[in-house]
Structure formats: C-alpha cells, structure tokens
C-alpha cells in the first residue's frame, strides 16, 4: 500500500478532520502482520540512515503533533527511536521557558533542526504556536495569524539547505483518548503523565480540530507535507509512519562517497602487516 499517497495532505487542500477515520482500513489483517511489516521496514530504514549519515549532505526533520495520549512518545520509543543514535535525536517541546518566551517563537526550534547527515524528531514543535497558543488564547489573533506564513518561510529555508521535512498528525478519537487516560491511571509508572489540563482540553476538542485544519490548509507544502495518520491502533500508526519515513529516505537516495583511496595499495599494506604478524 502507498501510505504516502493515502495520508498526505495536498498543498492547499481543505481537510474536515471529523470525516477522517481514526481506525485503519487495511492493508494489514491485524496487529501481528503490521508488527512484522514494521520490523522489516525498520531494517531498511536503518540501512538508508547509515548512508544518509555517511553522505553527510542531506538531512531529515520529522515533526510529530497530536492530542495528548495519541502516541507520540510510543512511536518514538518503539519505532523511530530504533534508528542509529549516532544520526538521530529527538526533541520534546514543552511550555516555553522564560528564556524561550523572551525570544521569537522559532528561536528554540531552529537550534534543534538537523545538521547535514542527521535526523531530528520533534515531539511537538513550532506548530504549538498556532495550536495550543490559539485555542487557549495565549497570544492575540493578530500575533498567531501571521505565523503560518512565517512557518512556511522557515521550512522552505530548511528545505533550501537540503532538509526534507515530514509532518505527522496522529489522529485519535476522543473515546480512544479516554481509554488511554484510564491506562495512565491504572499503571503507577504512567502517573507522571497525568494532569488536569489534559482533561480540560477535551472540552475544546472541536476548537483544536479547527486549529489543526487551518494548519493543514496553510502549511502543507511540497517541501514540507503534512500526513494525517489514523492512530487509534498503535500498530497501524507505527507501520504507516515507518513506511512514509522509509519511502522518503529512498527518494532522498543518499550515496556512499566514491572511494578515493587506492584499494590495491590498501590490500598490499594489509597483506604486509598480516605477514609480519605471522613472522612474530
Ligand atoms: P507533553 O508533550 O504532554 O509533555 O506536554 C507539553 C505541553 O507543553 C503541552 O500541553 C503543550 O501544549 C505545551 N506546549 C508546547 N509548546 C508550547 C508553546 N509554544 N506554548 C504553550 N504551550 C506549549
Ligand atoms: Mg501530556
């Protein structure tokens, strides 16, 4: 299945999130088949990531946005985080610190963009500045409404430098979210994730969907497309994202450098050392 084609938001496309499924409709029979697919895809992904790292020219930025408990952490822990840590870093963006607040909204983000050869994963991102900030009324409309264009320019600056950008929205239903909140209550090791604000935000669910719809319409571009991933099933979420990242790396087609050294000479040196060791 072509996950890119299925989940991409075309530039300028209007999305009505309420009509987008949160449950998968194929291609996997179920969990087991999807998990196998993820395993195979991760192996291919790692091989391409190795080339990206060695090539040292292009980079990849993966942006994750979603309601609470939609699975950003799980996706990183179980799937994306299995790439080689030499070449990948993840950055969680929380409520801005006083120092971050004292700068423009892209300041903290720009520092975390991937260097050539690297992959950055954003767990939340600059999009919070047109999402939570808008819905919770943290800055006036005249401020946040200018940010879509600023974000597009920022992302095209990154693209110009050789950074591919993939932006994923993990789409869950309010019902699934509540079930996962229940899990957090049931497992003591998840209690740190509990907060009253997450429950309050449920009242504003439609406002968040509206804010996301604006983001998709204004900020899904050729250089930096948005993907809406049905995320009620964790195994589908992982498979779809892994597949899209893999396909993108394939398209980027990173190349190992052409060999500069004289291989015959290196082989001679090796044989000589080997012979000397045998003589000792
Ligand atoms: P979590 O990712 O669940 O650990 O929570 C991080 C919290 O930080 C979320 O409630 C986000 O909405 C919030 N957050 C992230 N970025 C911003 C921002 N730019 N302005 C205000 N709140 C933010
Ligand atoms: Mg949270």
Cα–ligand 2 centroid distance for 76 (angstroms): 15
User: How would residue 166 be classed by pLDDT, with cut points 50, 70 and 90?
Assistant: very high
User: How would residue 135 be classed by pLDDT, with cut points 50, 70 and 90?
Assistant: very high
Q: What confidence tens digit (pLDDT) does each residue in 2-47 have?
A: 999 999 999 999 999 999 999 999 899 999 999 999 999 999 999 9
Domains and CATH numbers, the chain: 3-279 (3.40.50.300)
Cα–ligand 2 centroid distance for 68 (angstroms): 5
Cα–ligand 2 centroid distance for 192 (angstroms): 9
Handedness of CA 245, 60, 57, 218 (dihedral sign): positive
Asked whether the predicted pLDDT for residue 108 surpasses 90, the reply is yes
Compute the distance between CA of residue 2 and CA of residue 157 in angstroms, rounded to an integer: 28
Asked whether the predicted pLDDT for residue 264 surpasses 90, the reply is yes
Cα–ligand 1 centroid distance for 253 (angstroms): 35
Please give the mean pLDDT across all residues of the chain: 97
Q: What confidence tens digit (pLDDT) does each residue in 70-80 have?
A: 999 999 999 99
Asked whether the predicted pLDDT for residue 280 surpasses 80, the reply is no
Mean pLDDT for the stretch of residues 215-230: 97
pLDDT at 1: 87
Q: What confidence tens digit (pLDDT) does each residue in 62-99 have?
A: 999 999 999 999 999 999 999 999 999 999 999 999 99
Cα–ligand 2 centroid distance for 128 (angstroms): 13
- Rounded to 10°, the helix 196-203/174-186 angle is 170
Closest atom, ligand 1, to C-alpha of 126: 19
Q: Is there a contact between 58 and 260 (Cβ–Cβ < 8 Å)?
A: no
Ligand closest to 108 (CA) is 1
**Residues in contact with 230: Cβ distance below 8 Å, sequence separation at least 6, in sequence order:** 20, 21, 22, 23, 24, 171, 236, 237, 240
Compute the distance between CA of residue 136 and CA of residue 115 in angstroms, rounded to an integer: 33
* 105 CB neighbour count, 10 Å cutoff: 21
* 40 CB neighbour count, 10 Å cutoff: 12
Ligand closest to 133 (CA) is 1
User: How would residue 196 be classed by pLDDT, with cut points 50, 70 and 90?
Assistant: very high
pLDDT at 232: 98
Cα–ligand 2 centroid distance for 132 (angstroms): 12
Mutate to test the pocket of ligand 1, among 70, 91, 95, 147 (most ligand atoms within 8 A of CB): 95
Asked whether the predicted pLDDT for residue 253 surpasses 90, the reply is yes
Strands across the sheet with 88-92, in order?
A: 8-9, 226-230, 163-171, 59-65, 119-123, 88-92
Cα–ligand 1 centroid distance for 93 (angstroms): 6
Asked whether the predicted pLDDT for residue 278 surpasses 90, the reply is no
Pairing of the two strands 88-92 and 119-123: parallel
Mutate to test the pocket of ligand 1, among 76, 90, 93 (most ligand atoms within 8 A of CB): 93
What's the token pair of residue 207? 């406002």
Ligand closest to 134 (CA) is 1
pLDDT at 272: 97
Write a three-state SS string for the chain. CCHHHHHEECCCCCCCHHHCCCCCCCCCCCHHHHHHHHHHHHHHHHHHHHHHHHHCCCEEEEEEECCCCCCHHHHHHHCHHHCCCCCEEEEECCCCCHHHHCCCCCHHHHCCCCCCCCEEEEECCHHHHHCHHHHCCCCCHHHHCCHHHHHHHHHHHHHHCCEEEEEEEEECCHHHHHHHHHHHHHCHHHHHHCCHHHHHHHHCHHHHHHHHHHHHHHHCCCCCCEEEEECCCHHHHHHHHHHHHHHHHHHHCCCCCCCCCCHHHHHHHHHHHHHHHHHC
What's the token pair of residue 18? 């309420």
CA-proximal residue: ligand 1, atom 21 (nearest) = 95
Mutate to test the pocket of ligand 1, among 128, 134, 190, 207 (most ligand atoms within 8 A of CB): 128
Q: What confidence tens digit (pLDDT) does each residue in 205-220 have?
A: 999 999 999 999 999 9
pLDDT at 26: 86
Taking CB atoms and a 6 Å cutoff, what residues make up the pocket around ligand 1? 68, 93-96, 124, 128-129, 132-133, 138
Ligand closest to 93 (CA) is 1
């Amino acid at each position: 299945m072509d996950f890119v084609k299925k989940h991409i938001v075309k530039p300028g496309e209007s999305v009505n999130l309420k009509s987008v499924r949160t449950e998968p409709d194929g291609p996997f029979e179920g969990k087991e088949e999807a998990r196998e697919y993820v395993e195979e895809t991760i192996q291919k992904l790692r091989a391409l990531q190795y080339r990206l790292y060695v090539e040292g020219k292009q980079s990849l930025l993966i942006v994750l946005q979603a309601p609470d408990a939609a699975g950003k952490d799980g996706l990183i822990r179980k799937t994306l985080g299995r790439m080689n840590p030499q070449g990948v870093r993840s950055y969680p963006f929380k409520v801005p610190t006083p120092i971050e607040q004292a700068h423009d909204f892209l300041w903290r983000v720009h520092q975390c963009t991937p260097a050539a050869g690297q992959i950055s994963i954003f767990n939340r991102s600059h999009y919070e500045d047109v999402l939570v900030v808008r819905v919770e009324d943290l800055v006036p409309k005249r401020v946040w409404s200018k940010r879509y264009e600023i974000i597009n320019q920022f992302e095209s600056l990154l693209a110009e430098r050789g950074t591919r950008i993939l932006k994923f929205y993990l789409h869950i239903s309010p019902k699934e979210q509540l079930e996962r909140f229940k899990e957090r209550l049931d497992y003591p090791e998840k209690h740190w994730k509990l907060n009253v604000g997450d429950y309050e935000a449920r009242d504003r669910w439609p406002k968040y969907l509206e804010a996301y719809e604006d983001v998709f319409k204004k900020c899904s571009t050729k250089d930096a497309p948005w993907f809406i991933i049905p995320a009620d099933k964790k195994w589908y979420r992982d498979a779809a994202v892994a597949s899209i990242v893999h396909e993108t790396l394939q398209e980027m087609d990173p190349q190992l450098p052409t060999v500069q050294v004289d291989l015959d000479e290196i082989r001679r040196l090796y044989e000589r050392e080997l012979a000397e060791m045998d003589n000792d």
